Amino acid sequence: PDYGGVAQADATIKAAASAPGAAHNPFAHAYKAVASSIHSATHPAAPTKRASPNKAPLPDPAAIALDDDVPMTSARAATPDWAALFDRMQPGQSCKLPKHAKATLAKATQEQHKSSTKRFAIKKISDTEIRIWRTA
């Protein structure tokens, strides 16, 4: 399709860029760049297909072995109960913990602040450690 004379302009620019002596024309590279951009605008690229991830084949549902009496694990099973630490701490006391404990500890202190008058502050003290203080 001709997009408002674009095909004619495309043909004119291509002819000028490939005309004899165009290599010595200082504007030949500009003609080629314009021709390329017009072609790109009027001839969109085909969509690319995404590669599907390698997936192992699923087993036959009739052949899957069933287990009895296996307790279901909790999503929070790996999260420590920080209440034991909070209950032991007195105002002014602090302790060091690994930096990777900060997110769960921060969430626990947030919950503690909602349910009691105890207050805590958490600060990074090194690249690998944090410190928690009981402030009230």
| 35-79 confidence digits (pLDDT tens) | 677 767 777 777 677 766 777 888 888 998 888 998 887 766 666
Q: Which residues contact 41 (CB under 8 A, 6 or more apart)?
A: 3, 6
| 82-108 confidence digits (pLDDT tens) | 888 999 999 999 999 999 999 999 999
pLDDT of residue 125: 93
Structural domain boundaries in the chain = 6-42, 83-134
CA–chain centroid gap for 108, Å, is 26
3-state secondary structure of 25: coil
This prediction's pTM:
0.44
Q: In the predicted model, is pLDDT for residue 22 greater than 90?
A: no
94 and 83 Cβ atoms separated by less than 8 Å: no
Q: Which residues contact 31 (CB under 8 A, 6 or more apart)?
A: 13, 16, 17, 22, 25
> Where do the DSSP E strands lie in the chain?
94-98, 120-124, 129-134
